[in-house]
Structure 1
Amino acid sequence: MKLRTVLGAALAAGLGWLLFAPTRVRPVAWEGPGLPPSRTSGPYADNGRLNTAELLAPVPGLKAPESVAVDAQGRLYSGFEGGAVVRFQPDGTAPEVFADTGGRPLGLRFHPDGNLLIADALRGLLRVGPEGSVQVLATGAEGVPFRFTDDLDVDRAGRFVYFTDASSRYGWPHELLDLLEHGGHGRVLRHDLHTGETVVLARGLNFPNGVTLGPDEAYLLVTETGTARVHRLWLAGERAGTLEVFADSLPGYPDNVRFDGAGTFWVALPSRRSPLLDAGARQPWLRRVIARIAERAHLPLPEESMLVALDLKGRPVAFAQGSGSASYSYITQVLPVGDALILSSLHGQTLARVPLAQVRP
C-alpha cells in the first residue's frame, strides 16, 4: 500500500511538471500543414532510391557537414560543427581544413570573385578569402541581432547577398523550440556588398531555412521548415516584395534548396513530418508539454533519407527516399554537380554522392 502511494505521488508530480513547469516557449495555434502525403502511392511514395550512397573521404574528428559549395576548380567545401570549413578535391578525396569561422557555418555559396560567403549560425554573414581569412559582413538588421543565420545566395552581379535569419528568438541549435512555438521569428534579408546595408525583405516566417535565386533572378525561393512549405519571394516586376506559396504539404521538413539553372529546384528533406507536431498545430498546450521536455533533453525528429526535385511551377518531378545502414540520412542539402548529386547531412561524418540517374531515372 505504501509503495502504491509513493508511485501515485511520483506520477502526479511528473504529470504536474509536464503541465505546469515553467518554459520559455509560448506556442501559437495555427492551422497545420494538412495530412501528410501517402507513402504508398503518388509522387512521394517510398521508392528506396537513396538506400545506397557513396561516402566521400572521411574527415577525422569532425562531423555534421550542413551545406556544400563548389569552386571554379570543382573542389567541394562544407562547414562542420565546431567552425571548420573543409575543402575536398573534385573527386571527394584529400579533405583539408580551409578555414575556421569560430562559429557554426551553415549555408555556403561562392561569390563571383572567388570569395566564399557563409551564413554562420553564431557569427552572422561572413566572407572568407582565398587564403582562409574570415571577415564578418553583418550581424543584425533593424536593431535586431541575428540569432540563427542559416542559408544564403548571391546574385550574378555579385552585389546582393540574400539570406535567412531562421529565428531571432531561438539560436542554434534550438530549432525544435522555434518549431514548437511557431511564433514567426524568422526573416529573409538582403545585404548590399557595395554599401554594407542590410534590409529585411520578409518577416513573420516560421524558421525560414534554405534560399536560392530562381530564373533571371526574378524571385527567391525560401523553404519554411516550420510549415513544410516552400515560398516564392518576388524580387522584380509588379509583384516585387510579395510572398506566395510555391510548394505545400511536403512529406518532410525542408532544409536547403538549390537551383540547377536548368529548370529544377532540389530540396533537402532531413526529417519526415512528425504526426505529433502536425496534430499539435491547434493544441498549444500539447506543444508546451513537448517543449518542457525538449528544453531539457534531445528530442529527435523522425529521421530519414529524402529529397525532392521541383519544377518551375512547384510540382514534384522527382522524389528519392531511402533507409537502412547504407543510406545517407538527415540530408540538409542537395547540390547537382555534373552527373551526380552531392549530399550534406547534420548527422553525417562527411559528404556523400549519388548518381543523378539513381534519383531521377
Structure 2
Amino acid sequence: MRPRRLLGLSLGAGLGWLLFAPTRVRPVAWEGPGLTPSRTGGPYADNGRLNTAQLLAPVLGLNAPESVAADAQGRLYSGFEGGAVVRFGPDGTAPEVFANTGGRPLGLRFHPDGSLLIADALRGLLRVGPEGSVQVLATGAEGIPFRFTDDLDVDRAGRFVYFTDASSKYGWPHELLDLLEHGGHGRVLRHDLQTGETVVLARDLNFPNGVTLGPEDAFLLVTETGAARVHRLWLAGERVGTLEVFAANLPGYPDNVRFDGTGTFWVALPSRRSPLLDAGARQPWLRRVVARIAERAHLPLPEESMLVALDLNGRPTAFAQGSGPDSYGYITQVLPVGDALILSSLHGQTLARVPVAQVWDPA
C-alpha cells in the first residue's frame, strides 16, 4: 500500500473516531457567558500583580492544597491529594499532618466549636475533631449520592452547613467532562447539624463550586464554574429562596469564594476562559469531539494566576493577575488573613502568601 494512501486511511480513521466514537458525555447547547473580557483594558486587564508570591514551608511528598482555613490560633489548614489535612503554624512554617480523610478533602471551614468541617469530593460532608478523628455527616440527598462534594460554609450559630455537590454525574477528578457537557448536574445543599437532615436549596447548576455566607448570614454566594459567574441565594428577607446572578462574565472559571467579614468577597480564578469552550457553547458536536479526547487524556484548562475582589453588589473592586516564573498558578482559593491573602492551588506543593496591598490598584 502506498504511503500516501496509508496516511489518508489513517487520517480518515482518526477523524471518524473523533466524530463517532462512543462517549458518556452528552453536551447541551447554551448561550455562553458572553464576550471574554479584555486582557488589555477594563477591570480585568493584565497587571502582573501576582508575578511574585511567597511560598509557605514545603510539604514533602504531598501535592495540590485545594482549600485553606485558619483556626482561632491563626494556624492554617489545607487538604492534599491522598486525603491528608496538613496544619501549618501561623507563620506558615512547621507543616504537619493533622488528619486524613481517606478521600479527597476540598473545601475547609472551622465550626464555632473548633471542629473542622470538610467537603470531601469522595466521602461527602465530614467533621474532624480536635484530635483528628473523622466523622461522616452526609453522603447524599433526595436519594442521590454526592459525587463531587466541593465547598462549604457554616452559619454563625453553628447549626447549618451550606455546601455544594458540584456534579452528580462526574466525580472527582473529572470536572472538565462536566464543563464540556453543561448538563446542570450540580446542587447547593444545607445540612442541619442538630437534626442530621440534608435538603437541596438549588439545583440544575453547572458545576457549582465555592460558597460563602454574606453579612448577617442573609445570603449565600455560589460560584458556578461552568458558566463563569457567581450567584446569590437569599436565605432571609422577602427574597428568601431566590437565586439570582451576582456577578457574570468573569475572565476565568471561578473556584472558591471567601468573605472578609466587612465588604469584600475574594474569588479565585484558577484558569482563563477557554476560547474553545466559549465558541462551542452552541456547538454540542464540537464539545463532544473534545470530550472523546478528554475521557482518555488529560486536557488542562489554560492555567494562570488570577483573583478578583467583588463588593457587596458584585462589582469588581480589585483584580490581580500574574504569569511570571515566580507566580503561584491555578489559584483555587483566596483567604484574607490580617494584611495578607493566603492562596491555595491544585497545582502547587504548598500554600502561598501575598500582601493585600499588592493586589489593590494604588490609584
- TM-score interval, smaller chain: over 0.9
Tell me the CA shift for residue 120 of structure 1.
0.1
Tell me the CA shift for residue 42 of structure 1.
0.7
Deviations 1:173-213 (A, max 9, x none): 00000000000000000000000000000000000000000
Deviations 1:131-162 (A, max 9, x none): 00000000000000000000000000000000
What CA distance in whole angstroms lies between the structure 1 residues aligned with 2:312 and 2:37? Answer: 21
What CA distance in whole angstroms lies between the structure 2 residues aligned with 1:167 and 1:241? Answer: 21
* 1:59 match: secondary structure: coil
Gaps of 5+ in 1: none
Tell me the CA shift for residue 47 of structure 1.
0.3
* 2:334 match: secondary structure: strand
What CA distance in whole angstroms lies between the structure 2 residues aligned with 1:75 and 1:33? Answer: 38
Tell me the CA shift for residue 7 of structure 1.
0.3
What CA distance in whole angstroms lies between the structure 1 residues aligned with 2:22 and 2:344? Answer: 36
* 2:7 match: secondary structure: helix
- Give me the TM-score of the superposition, normalised by structure 1: 0.99
Matched with 1:322 is: 322
Deviations 1:268-296 (A, max 9, x none): 00000000000000000000000000000
Tell me the CA shift for residue 121 of structure 1.
0.1
Deviations 1:224-283 (A, max 9, x none): 000000000011111111100000000000000000011000000000000000000000
What CA distance in whole angstroms lies between the structure 1 residues aligned with 2:233 and 2:262? Answer: 20
Tell me the CA shift for residue 325 of structure 1.
1.3
What CA distance in whole angstroms lies between the structure 2 residues aligned with 1:227 and 1:322? Answer: 23
What CA distance in whole angstroms lies between the structure 2 residues aligned with 1:237 and 1:314? Answer: 19
Deviations 1:21-78 (A, max 9, x none): 0000000000000111110111000000000000000000000000000000000000
Deviating above 2 A after TM superposition, structure 1's stretches of 4 or more consecutive aligned residues are none
Tell me the CA shift for residue 311 of structure 1.
0.1
Percent pairwise identity: 90
* 1:29 match: secondary structure: coil
Q: Do structure 1's residue 167 and structure 2's residue 170 form an aligned pair?
A: no
Gaps of 5+ in 2: none
Q: Do structure 1's residue 271 and structure 2's residue 280 form an aligned pair?
A: no
Number of matched pairs: 359
What CA distance in whole angstroms lies between the structure 2 residues aligned with 1:67 and 1:127? Answer: 15
What CA distance in whole angstroms lies between the structure 2 residues aligned with 1:42 and 1:181? Answer: 31
Tell me the CA shift for residue 324 of structure 1.
1.6
- Give me the TM-score of the superposition, normalised by structure 2: 0.99
What CA distance in whole angstroms lies between the structure 1 residues aligned with 2:156 and 2:288? Answer: 44
